[in-house]
Amino acid sequence: MEEEKRPEAGVPQEPVPEASETAAEAVADTVQETAPESTETAAEAPAEQPAEEQPEDEEYTSKDFANDALDLIGAVLSSIFVVIVLFAYVFCIADVEGESMLPTLEPNDRLFVMRVGTEFERGDILIIDSKKAYTFDANNNLVAGEGLGKRIVKRLIATGGQEVRIDFSEGAVYVDGEKLNEPYISSLTKRDEGAFRFPIVVPEGYVFVLGDNRYISRDSRHPTVGLIPEEDIIGEVVFRVAPFSAFGKIE
C-alpha cells in the first residue's frame, strides 16, 4: 500500500478534481487490459520465410541417353531369357498332324503342353518323343528298336507294373483285369499291329499308350512305337489354344 503524501508545511494545497483522478484510472485500466492482447498478437504473427530457390533443370546429356538405352536393352534381354526358360522347362506349344487322335484332337489343332511334373495318370494325353521303340524278344527281355523319329500325341493307358490285355475280337482294352470305359475313342480296338503277345506287364519306368482313333493310330500296339520310356515324355496336353472356336481344356 502506498503511503499517503503529507502536504508540505506552509504550502497551500489545491484540491485535485475527482474527474481527473477517475480518467487516469480509466486510462491505466485500458493500458493494462490491451497491453497483453497486443503482446499475444505479436507472438502469434509468423515470421516471414525466405523464398525457396527453384532448382534449375538439368540438361539431358548423351550419357543419360546411353544409360537409359542400356537399361531398356537389359530389360528386353531379361524378358527374352525368361520366355526361353519357360518354353524350355515349363511349357511348350505343339501342333497336331494327322488323324490318329480323332475325335478328341483334329489336324492343325494347337496345344498347350505342360512340361513340369512326372506323375501321369491313365487317360492323360501326352506329347512323346518317339526316338526308340521298346518291345520284348523271344526270351521276354526288353529290347530297343527304331522309333518313329518324331513327336507323337497319344493317350496314356497303363504305367509301370500294370498288366495290359487287349481283346481284339471284342475290341476292348483291359488294365489289371478291368475293362476300360473309353467314351473318347472313335472306333473299337480291333487291330493287332504285332508288337506284343498280350497280356503284358509294363516294366517300371515305361508307359503304354494308344491313340483315340484306334483304327488308324500307330501306337504301343505297333513295333515302331512299343513301350515309351518315361524320360521320352515331353509333357501333358492341358488345353487347346487354336482354333479359337475350340479353345479350352481337353479331356
Q: Is 213 inside any structural domain?
A: yes
The pLDDT of residue 241 is above 50: yes
Reading the block at residue 16, the C-alpha cell is 485535485
Reading the block at residue 56, the C-alpha cell is 534449375
The pLDDT score that the predictor gives to residue 20 is: 43
Cell 518291345, located at residue: 135
What are residue 164's DSSP bridge partners? 175, 200
- Mean pLDDT over all residues of the chain? 82
The pLDDT score that the predictor gives to residue 118 is: 65
pLDDT in tens, 148-205: 999 999 999 999 999 999 999 999 999 999 999 999 999 999 999 999 999 999 999 9
What mean pLDDT is predicted for residues 46-57? 58
Residue 179 is a catalytic residue: no
Q: Is 198 inside any structural domain?
A: yes
Contact, 101 vs 153, CB < 8 A? Answer: yes
The pLDDT score that the predictor gives to residue 31 is: 40
Residue 63 is a catalytic residue: no
Q: Is 30 inside any structural domain?
A: no
Cell 488294365, located at residue: 175
Q: Is 26 inside any structural domain?
A: no
The number of folded domains in the chain is 1
Q: Which of 181, 224, 239, 231 is nearest to 206 (CA)?
A: 231
Reading the block at residue 121, the C-alpha cell is 495318370
Q: Which of 132, 154, 217, 220 is catalytic?
A: 154
Q: Is 19 inside any structural domain?
A: no
The pLDDT of residue 215 is above 90: yes
- Whichever domain contains 100, its CATH number is 2.10.109.10
Q: Which of 20, 62, 79, 100 is catalytic?
A: 100
Q: Is 149 inside any structural domain?
A: yes
Report the alpha-carbon distance of residue 156 to residue 3 in Å, rounded: 123
- Single pTM value for the model: 0.68
pLDDT in tens, 66-111: 888 888 888 888 788 777 766 666 778 999 999 999 999 999 999 9
- CB-count burial class (<10 Å; 0-12, 13-18, 19+) for 190: middle
The pLDDT score that the predictor gives to residue 122 is: 95
- pLDDT above 70 covers a percentage of the chain that reads 74
Q: Is 25 inside any structural domain?
A: no
Q: Is 67 inside any structural domain?
A: no
Domain span at 99: 91-249
- pLDDT category of residue 33 using cuts at 50, 70 and 90: very low
The pLDDT score that the predictor gives to residue 9 is: 46
